[in-house]
Structures are given as structure tokens and as C-alpha cells.
Amino acid sequence: MYTALTVSGGTRLEGAVTPQAIIANSLLQLSSEDLEEAINKAVSENPALEMPAPAVCPYCHSTLTHGVCLNCSTTGRNASIRRDDEGWWNEDSRWPARGGSFDDDEEFDPMTILAAETTLSEYLRTQVSALVSGPEREVAEFIIDSLDEKGLLATPVSEIATACDCSESVVERVLRKVQSLDPPGVAARSVQECLLIQLGQMSGDTADLDLATRIVRDHWDALTKLSLDSIARQAHASEKDIRQAIGFIGRNLNPFPANADWRGPGQRGNPTLVQPDIIVRRKRPPETGYEIEIPESRKYRLRVNSLYQQLVHDVRSGDAVVSFREREHLREHLAQARLFINCVKQRWQTLERIALALVDVQEEFLEKGYRFLKPLTRSQLADIVGVHESTVGRAVANKSLMLPSGRILSLSDFFDGSLAIKCVIEEIILEETQPLSDQRIAEVLQARGCDIARRTVAKYRDAIGIPPARVRAVLKNRTWKPLWVPPEHAGSF
């Protein structure tokens, strides 16, 4: 067996598979979450490998990030801490509260503030504490922990009752209390129930509200198919009234409570923050170009246990006498620790080199937008970087990159030949005054020199989550996450 190994200087060597190559390749293809699990497992299994615990805030004991307590900084609190020789922080010198200045050599990453914002679970727990107590509190917290990423309840009531050792009637009672919290519709067991909860919390006795409630409650199947004539017949109402009521639903209701604007000032947006594996930034003037950062390289500070190193030194110098088994233990665990550290570092180096090559190839894309995205294959990038194609495949798997604009793209998007076409389709739809059919979009693309069929337009439109024209005509609002927002539309999102 042979594999391509990358060595310093970018040389590509072909040689026999080594333990370092095997471990490095396995670590390279892991996602950030899986890497964290692998590192924690390695540290727990090897006493010669350690990852020093970061310093904590002297006030709330939360982990410090760049010397800043993200918990206390949001309340304007301050603390006295400084970095030691290894980059960790001790209680000694002042650090700036949120909005303050930072050392020039330690640029504060605003993403860490975003990551520390209140989660939906914390927000719900704050509210529910005033409504429940005693045994009900345990049930309420179990319900909150069972919510999916959309804010809906993913666990059946019967399972919650079994887990909490209570009756289903108790769970139902507590569930109604949780469902009364903000954001409206949270903890609903289905989208239909979510919308009914929101409608029930609305005040006023308008015709639209009454008809909208009837449509959601009694004609859900027809509503999901947007079959207006069927709803009109069943509800004994005119198609005009039905269209108006559905428009009311689209304007005022949110089928996914977790995506609602439920947080306070400075915390708007999607509660789930995607942490990119690679960050691309513009260099500070007067320098030009871009620089690459691998956030996880700051997060994991792996090192060999100093006690083990001292023991080996003492054994070699004759200052310590150990048995053969103890000597083998020291040798084996130290070798494994150093090997693992080198493999993790190799992951970061490989990601950085691939990112630098991508930036070099796609610089025009970064400057001018998706129209200038150059076609690129993994094989071509491998030749540029000087590694095997399989190395590039492992490196881009389950990885994301943050552009200088703040947009996060999957690394695999850079090898998607259809990405530019998808972005053009989205731009056409963003600019439409009346919903365009897939056939009409295909004709517009043909006029721009891109000859693709209507079925291909429909396929790409579905792939980026844009509903068909008849749905866009009824809802009259954008319900998909933009794939790429052109500069002229940037202020609209």
C-alpha cells in the first residue's frame, strides 16, 4: 500500500503507509465536533498527553476567551487577569469589558461574543421558572431539552412521562405551560399545532384571523398543498378570501419558533451559530490580500505532560531507576502523545495550505462575487497544493469556510460546478416583481448565455430551498436562506 504524504515545504512524497499517515488522514477528515471528541478521548486515554484547562473568570468561573469572560462582559463586569508565559490568563491585570480595546497582538474574535449569546433553551428556562415548581420543573426542563433545532417537541408525551416517572396528564399540563412561552408556538408537536398556538395567542376578532384558524385546524392537508379551490369548497368561502387568509398566515406566523426573532437587542438572527473551520480575512492596510485562520488551532493547546518528560530525562541520566515495564510505559505513552500532537498539527497545516490555494484561485470570486467563481476540481486543487487528491477529499469533507463578508460556505461548494448557476437563479428570483415559472427562469438564463432545461432549473431551485412560483405567489415573502446575496440586495437581508 502507498499513500501521498505531505512534508514541510510542500513536497509530495510517495511512500509506505506509516502510523502517522494513518492517524493524520483519519483526523483530517473529521468534522470539528468529531475532532473534539477524538482529542478528548486521546487525552483521557493517554496520561502523557494533556490539554491544559483554560483559566476561568474569578467572578462567575466561566471559561475565559482571549482573557475575556463572555458571561460577565455582557453585563459590563470587569476582572483583573493577565496572560502568563504560556498564553493562559491569571488574576493580575485589567481586561476590557465588551466594547473595550484589546492588545494589538491578541485580536478579539467577535464570533466568540456571538457564540456566548443566550440559547433558546436558556431563554425558555428563564421564563418557565416562574410558571412551574417542584416535580413539574423537572418535566418542563425535560421538554425543553427535547426540542429540536426548529423549536418543536421531538419526543412523544408518553416517553417524557416514562422518563420523568409521572403520568401523561402531568406532562400535558406542563407542556401547555411551556407552549405559552415566547417565542410563540415553541414546544408544539407539529407545525400545525405550532401555527394554531400562534393563532390562539393573537388578539382581535378579525375575519382573517378566524378564517386562518379554520384553515389551519380543519383543512391542513389542503393547505400544505396550497390547493386554494379545495380549501374554498371545504370552508364554504370564496377563493379570494382564502387567498387573503393564507397571506395572513404567511405574514404573521412562523412554522419554526427557533428561527423567530426571539432574542433581545444585539442578539438577533439565527440562534444556532455555525463555527467555521477556516476563516478568510482581508489583511490590514497597508497590506493587501487575504490571510487564513484555523480557529481550532487556538482552541486545542495539546502538549506532552511535563512530569513524563522529566521522568524520561531522569531515567536517561541515571537519576531515576525504573522497572522494564515502567520504562516501556513511559516510552510508549510519550511516543503516542507526540505522534498525536504532530497529527493534529498536520491537520491544521493541511487545512491552511488548501485554504490558501483556494483563496489564490478564487480571489476574483472573493472580490466580485459568485459570477467570478472559477470551475475547480479536487484533483486540480491537489496538484496546486502538492498533495494527493484523496487528501483534498478528506480535508474538505464536513468543513466550512467563512468569507471576508461573513458568509459561511461549505468547502465542498467550491467544487460544485452548479453553484454559480444556482446563484444566478436566486438572483433572478430576488429581482422578480411577479413570481416567475421555472420555464420563464430557463428562458432568462438562455438569454444570458446559459442554456439549461426547465427541469434543471427546478432541480437547482429545490436544491437551494426556494419554493415554486405558485407558493411564492401566495406567501409573498422570502422563506429560504440565501445561497449568496448579491451586493445590490445585501441591505434587504
What is the pLDDT tens value at each position of the chain, 493 positions in all? 334 444 334 444 444 568 788 888 899 989 888 898 999 999 999 999 998 765 555 555 455 555 555 555 444 444 333 334 433 333 333 333 333 333 444 444 444 444 444 577 778 887 887 787 778 888 888 888 888 878 888 888 888 888 888 888 889 998 998 888 888 889 899 888 988 888 888 866 577 788 888 888 888 888 877 778 888 888 888 888 888 888 888 777 888 888 765 554 334 344 444 578 998 988 888 888 889 988 888 788 899 988 888 888 888 888 888 888 888 888 899 999 999 999 999 999 999 999 999 999 998 888 877 778 888 899 999 999 999 999 999 999 889 888 887 778 888 888 887 877 888 888 888 888 888 999 999 999 999 888 889 999 988 888 777 878 876 776 555 555 555 444 443 333 2
Residue 72 has, within 13 A of its CA and on its CB side, a CA count of 20
Q: What local confidence, expressed as pLDDT, does residue 264 receive?
A: 41
Q: Which amino acid is at 180?
A: S
Query: What is residue 102's predicted lDDT score, i.e. its pLDDT?
Result: 35
> Could you give the CA distance from residue 195 to residue 182 in angstroms, rounded to a whole number?
14
- Say what the pLDDT of residue 261 is: 57
CA–CA gap between residue 409 and residue 353 (Å, rounded): 18
* Bridge partner residues of 392 (DSSP): none
pLDDT for the residue numbered 274 = 58
Q: Do the beta carbons of residue 338 and residue 304 sit within 8 Å?
A: yes
- Helical (H) or strand (E) element with 142: helix 135-145
Check if the beta carbon of residue 399 is closer than 8 Å to that of residue 278: yes
Q: For residue 143, what is its C-alpha cell?
A: 421538554
The H or E element spanning position 81 is strand 80-83
Residue 222's H or E segment, with its range, is helix 220-224
- Kindly write down the DSSP assignment for every residue of 83-119, as one continuous string: E-TTS-EEEEEE---TT----TTS---HHHHHHTSPP
Question: pLDDT value at position 267?
Answer: 40
pLDDT of residue 107: 46
pTM of the shown model: 0.54
pLDDT value of position 231: 84
In this prediction, residue 49 carries a pLDDT of 92
CA distance 437 to 435: 7
Q: What is the pLDDT of residue 410?
A: 85
Name the strand (E) or helix (H) holding 49.
strand 49-50
- The count of residues in the chain is 493
Residue 408 contacts residue 276 (beta carbons within 8 Å):
yes
286 upstream amide cis, omega within 30 of 0: yes
Concatenated DSSP letters of 418-475: THHHHHHHHHHHHH-SSPPPHHHHHHHHHHTT----HHHHHHHHHHTTPPPHHHHHHH
Contacts of 266 (CB under 8 A, 6+ apart): none
β-partners of residue 279 are: 293, 402
